[in-house]
Structure 1
Amino acid sequence: MSTSHEDRWSIGELAERAGATVKTVRFYSDQGLLPEAHRSGGGHRRYGPEALERLRLIRSLRALDLPLPEVRRVLEDEGAAGRVLEDAVAVRLRELGGELRALRWREAALRLVRECPPAQRSDRLRLIGAVSSPPSTAPLARFWRGWLPARMPARATAAFLEVAVPQPPDEPDPAQVLAFMRLHALTTAPCPGGTQPQPEVHRAAGARGAATLYAGLAEAYELAGPQVRRARQPFPGEALDAYVAVYASAYGGRDTRAFRRWLAERLAAEPRLDRYWELAAVVLTQPGGRPEPTPGSADDWLRAALEGDNATAA
């Protein structure tokens, strides 16, 4: 290969040495990313070995799918090139993670449509169209914020939302996608009567009292969790005692037989919340695995244990 000057190459010669196209070399040169050694008498660009190394580095960075601004930062910040490159790669990895999650959700949604009976496809498509990929949990959090008592301490609200809002799995199966989409529909639908009903215990305990109540209930649910996971029949014991005690504290009473009977009458099932927890359990369950306990399933187990305990004592 001939050159116009020793170690000086034309744009075509540089492209050939790098295995690139002339158009690519011209683009990066126009962007100021390739250093020119000098210009010929006719104004043609001439490049040296440093341009070849720079071009190879640019193409490697672009092969990693780094955007051009990040490539420029890596090239220009030579003193901290390693750190800049690490930061750029970390950002791109996070972006790719989000893109992959979106693709997995779209794949599962497509399977959901393909595998459902034709009569159900219209409903499935409506649910799919209302949810982004990957889906946002913001509507679920708004639902609970409307259900929780006003002026409840922020820390207590955050702790409750962490437990109550199921995070979409990164690799869902169609059943999990359908459950999450139904959760979205449930939490964004207008409330019966036009307003979100507040549980009676909120009115009795107040905002700060409700925060203490939920913290105590979380402990009772944790105690009941192993029994729910093993699908054991509800029975009185430590979990039920903790469950009744926290309600007794919220109502300013004591754990007595009379209070247990009174509490069982007050803890009526709420169909909308029951449905929420049923769907949340599907979202949280690994394909082929046993459903994980949720606050809803633990509460159901404890209410059944309370009713059974009252019946035995009657």
Structure 2
Amino acid sequence: MSGSRAAAAAITRRVRRWRPRGGILMYHCICAEACDPWAICIAPEHFDDQMAVLAEARAAVPLADFADEDGYTWDGSRVAVTFDDGYVDNLLVALPILEKYDIPATIFVVGNAVDRGREFWWDALQRAILGPTTLPEVLDVPFGTGPRTFTSTDGWGAVAENAGWRADAEDPRNRRQQLFRTLWDAIVVLGPDEQDGAVDHLLEWAGEPEIGVGSRLPVTGEQFAELARHPLITLGGHTRDHVSLTDMTLPDRHAQIDAGNRSVSELADAPVTQFAFPFGRFDVPTRNLLRDSDVTVGCTSVSTPAISSDDRHALPRLHATDMDGDAFGRWLRRDHGLLGSRA
């Protein structure tokens, strides 16, 4: 970022801190992982710490409060908890902690993932590329823009180097990480069936099973129903197939949003009024599709507190990461002016 753009961004952050505001937290998995390139995993003990901070501050409110003025205060005292994708640990690990502190949460569920019984493609890719101790020297890639071959005769890099690496914030440290980023960028724009075929090809190349030990899986239908019945949980839409909406035609975007919301609504026997953009990717035409639906709150992945003047169909969310309660409290108060902090 250039100096002028950085200065403009800093001014924008300061201005926003003087507006009525609130925090919408974005979570994914509640599990401990040494290798977590997108920082989507939070150890259960740290998630417990973080919910304890919200409970002590009496900050937790339903996401629905951010559809009107209730979620926004001059001291940033209100915070909503959300989860993306619908991982099984949201039920088995996160929900007991939410119950412990009586904290409501919205879970944005991928419609076609329920009862699918296999990993999301990005988790399978991570397991194939960043997990094995050794990888074959040559990889032929038949998917994406055309056949390609990747070769590394002196190794792809040690698995130990992957611990702590952030693919969204750091340059790759070795060939293995570079390969991971290159393949991720190629697969994210493919259709759902092509994505499955791509990761199946990579798992076979890496000598990994289709479903590995400890694989992060989405909920089953029975587990989804248990979440739907719970008074602390609201279920929202996350498209039918967790696609990159901005890489699709407008009719296909509409179909993905509508079919995903209908699937969640039918399974939960309740209307879907909350939505999160997959990968945080959105633009004005995609946002307008939400405005023409029954959705009252749309969430992005722009990591900043929400303010009262923000578009309710493109609200920012703070990406919560793996940190203990003290660090979490400082992050919310000092960095973002939340939990009753004056600007």
| TM-score normalised by structure 1 residue count | 0.22
Higher relative contact order (CA 8 A, sep 6+): 2
Q: Which has the higher helix share?
A: 1
**TM-score, normalised to structure 2's length?**
0.21
